[in-house]
Amino acid sequence: MTTQDDLPPRLGRGLTFHGPLSEARAERLVARIAAGTPGTVLDIGCGQGELLLRVLEAVPGAKGVGIDIDGAELVLGRERAAGRGLAERVAYVEESAVGTAHGPADAVLCLGSGQALCEGDTYDLPVILRELRRLVRPGGRAVLGEGFWERTPTEAELGAMWPGARADDHPSLAVLVDLAIEAGFRPLWTETASPEEWEEFESGYRHDAELWLAAHPEHPQAAETRARVDRQRSAWLGYRTLLGIAYLTLVAVD
């Protein structure tokens, strides 16, 4: 009989954050949001909402809403909240964030989830930033985790990344910050993920699947899982040192 342990694990299982974010940086981000003493916190594309829960722990009395379309992640988020005594202070909502009415809030988190604010398959950074500004009260704070090119990649380098990768998929860091200012923010803090954070995340993302493949080389799902893991790793090795992640702590201007 096949058991759950026999099945290939979900990529990223066991990671605290779904991105290159260390515990030390997360602590600093939470402290900067908490310094504004928000009463309401909104998390766009929250997943399990770990950073949201940490903000609520740091600001007694604050209430939060996490929005995501992945119901399975939201179930795990509710379990996390209940285990930390926060179930009465946070709501996990399974719906699209496009045009959401869950705002404006005193603080908004959007880490690697800008696509949640875009219609369809488009990824329009000015639109994302304008929507983010709409969701933050004047004087409130937002944390945006967004990709940028460390330098413009060549065509050969783009060909080694994800399918259809293009040079205009991401801006430079300078352009990203300028777009945030144009959308109605002032950049309180600008920081970027370190190589160590990237390696911890990317290797951790595949860790359990690699162990499973080593232990189940002849499993009926091994070939499919191996191909998926190999594609993901190859893409990372293609954009490694080229794709950066910026964490912008922004203040909404009236």
Please tell me the predicted confidence (pLDDT) of residue 4. Answer: 54
Of all residues in the chain, what percent carry a pLDDT higher than 70?
98
Please tell me the predicted confidence (pLDDT) of residue 1. Answer: 41
> What ranges do the domains of the chain cover?
23-195+241-252, 197-235
Q: How far apart are the first and last CA of the chain?
A: 62
Helix axes 222-239, 195-215, angle to 10 degrees: 160
Tell me the average pLDDT across 136-147.
Answer: 98
Task: Give the whole-angstrom CA distance, residue 50 versus residue 44.
Answer: 12
The pTM (predicted TM-score) of the whole model is 0.93
Per-residue pLDDT of 52-90, as tens digits, reads: 999 999 999 999 999 999 999 999 999 999 999 999 999
- Distance between alpha carbon 214 and the CA centroid of its chain, in Å? 29
CATH (one of 3.40.640.10, 3.40.50.620, 2.40.50.140, 3.40.50.150) for 23-195+241-252: 3.40.50.150
Paired tokens of 74: 């939201």
Angle at 180 between CA 106 and CA 96, to 5 degrees: 60
Q: Which residues of 168-190 are buried (b: 16+ CB within 10 A; e: fewer)?
A: ebbbebeebbebbeebbbebeee
Per-residue pLDDT of 190-208, as tens digits, reads: 999 999 999 999 999 999 9
